[in-house]
Structure 1
Amino acid sequence: QVKGLPEQLLAGRFQYLLDWLFHYVMIDDSKMTPLERNHYAAAYNDAESIRASNAWYQTFSQDIQDAQTYSPLEMPVLGIGSYISYQYMKMGLPHVARNLEMVGILDSGHYLFEEQPEQVLDAVFSFLN
């Protein structure tokens, strides 16, 4: 991540990046309506929002160091993964959560709520009950 560059390149044009992401990381990008696409773009389109969203990625090195000092979570934890993330989460989450329930929504890409909202809600309600 080059600080300042994403804001310069994407401010006012974030929709182009989102359209690419929706197309390539969703199984069925038609499940993302034009209204939803516009909401995503509005949320990320200004320079400060782009800076804030990219700052998360810029902390990965520090996050890895910090995580080595944390104790595993003892409370119940629900991990919900898509076809993209399920295997990664299944390998990684047991190291940070002792009481883990994993759910795979494998007919969804990155945007689980948009592609399979019923399955996500079923997993959450089942976990909470």
Structure 2
Amino acid sequence: MNEIKNVQIPNDKELAVSLGSFKSKEIQVNGITLHFVEGGQGEPLVLLPGWPETWWSYHKIMPELAKHFFVISLDIRGMGISSKPEAGYRKKEMASDVAEMVRKLNLGKIHIAGHDIGAGIAYSFAALYPELTASLIIMDTPPVDESIYKLPMLPVPGMFYPWWLAFNQVSELPEKILEGRISFVLDAIFDGLSIKHDAVNAFDRSVYAKSYNTASGIRASNGWYKAFAADIEDNKQFKKIEVPVLGIGGSGYQMIKDTLPTLTTHLKLCEIEKCGHFLQSEKPNELIDIIKTFLVEIKK
């Protein structure tokens, strides 16, 4: 993509409208502002994105899901035009943001789905707020545990090498290096973790770059990673999830398969073959079918 130029990117309201009858909204929770896009009707389904994306990461699946559910795609704390405070990036704190939103919107019990960083928040939400959780969907990234400490610092043939996990832990330096140049990182991540490289196309990458191209955007999103050590300790305290859980994986399926059985009592696993990390973009139709089938099955 090269360095971001002065290209006019649609705002969130315009992006929401482009999907049909979706609306861009904001809500005050826990002293911050969260932005979300909502549409559809039926039981509430809340979608939580991950790094380096925004609510837009679900745009390929939102219109179809909205035919069956009331869909909310949320810019989590530190993402997009949501607030970017200095603190509050432990996943249980971010789950509290979601819980406050659910209560304020009078949603009752929700189906909650998360991808990447969003998966950790969704897991924390289900663990901490079972009274608000109808089901949990984890996509391609299991909740963090101590195995993360064993990932290689240098590339090892045949081993997953998530170099950004360490880089995003560094204080102050990333925003000094990458402000105005985040597109280089986006290209490396989307090309490196996707099987179909154009699934996250140039327009999508420009939307995400708009969110992460500032010092505050980089600092806030790195806060999600800096909280991992605390998240690991928090996760140890959680009881097994008792609501129905769906684990879906592309390139991350083996990690999902290895981790989720120890954390849940009612689990269904699905692998999307020939798919990288970005399920929503690479295999949207397969993902829609898997989610719809699961949510129909648990109602029987």
TM-score, normalising length from structure 2? Answer: 0.41
Which structure's residues are more often helix, by fraction?
1
Consecutive unaligned residues of structure 2, counting only runs of 5 or more, are 1-168
Cα drift, residue 125 of structure 1: 0.5
Deviations 1:6-64 (A, max 9, x none): 11111111101001111111001022221111111112111112112111111111111
Identity %: 40
Q: Give the alignment partner of residue 60 of structure 1, picking from 203, 228, 244.
A: 228
* 2:288 alignment partner in structure 1: 121
Post-superposition shift, 1:106? 2.3
Q: Partner residue of 1:90?
A: 257
Q: How does 1:96-115 map to 2 (within 5 A)?
A: 96-115=263-282
Q: Give RMSD over aligned pairs.
A: 1.1
**2:204 partner letter:** E
Quote the Cα distance in structure 2 between the aligned partners of 1:91 and 1:6.
32
Matched position secondary structure for 2:238: coil
In the TM superposition, what whole-angstrom CA distance separates every residue of 1:79-98 from its partner, at most 9, and x where no partner exists? Answer: 11112x10001111112111
**Residues 1:81 and 2:249 are matched in the alignment:** yes
Inter-partner Cα distance in structure 2 for 1:72 and 1:127: 20
The 4+ residue runs of structure 1 with deviation greater than 3 A are none
Give the number of equivalent residue pairs.
128
> Could you tell me how far apart the structure 1 residues matched to 2:183 and 2:200 are?
13
Query: TM-score normalised to the size of structure 1?
Result: 0.93
Higher relative contact order (CA closer than 8 Å, sequence separation 6+):
1
Q: Are 2:14 and 1:14 equivalent residues in the alignment?
A: no
After TM superposition, give the deviation of residue 2 of structure 1 in Å: 1.4
